Amino acid sequence: MRRLAALDPAEAPEKSRPILEDIVARHGGVGDMVSTMAHSPALLQGYLDFSRAMKRVKIPRALGEKISLAVQEWIGCGTCLAAHTEAALAAGLTETDVALARQGTSADAREAALIGVAVRVLVEPSAITDEDVAGLRAHGWSDRVIAEVVGLVSLNLLTGAFNLLVGNQPDES
**C-beta of residue 13 within 8 angstroms of C-beta of residue 36:** no
Q: How far apart are CA 171 and CA 33, in angstroms?
A: 14
Q: How many CB atoms are closer than 10 A to CB 20?
A: 23
Determine how many CB atoms are found less than 10 A away from the CB of residue 4: 15
Which residues make up the CATH 1.20.1290.10 domain(s) of the chain? 61-166
Cα separation, 34 vs 88, in Å, equals 21
pLDDT of residue 173: 53
* Longest Cα–Cα distance in the chain: 53
Residue 54 CA to residue 23 CA, distance in Å, equals: 18
Question: pLDDT at position 123, please?
Answer: 98
pLDDT at res. 134: 98
pLDDT 10s per residue in the chain (173 long)? 899 999 999 999 999 999 999 999 999 999 999 999 999 999 999 999 999 999 999 999 999 999 999 999 999 999 999 999 999 999 999 999 999 999 999 999 999 999 999 999 999 999 999 999 999 999 999 999 999 999 999 999 999 999 999 999 887 65
137-144 contacts at long range (C-beta below 8 A, 24 or more positions apart) = 139/109, 139/110, 139/113, 139/114, 140/110, 141/110, 141/113, 141/114, 142/58, 144/58
Range 61-166 has CATH code 3.30.230.70: no
The conformation of residue 126, written as its DSSP 8-state character, comes to: G
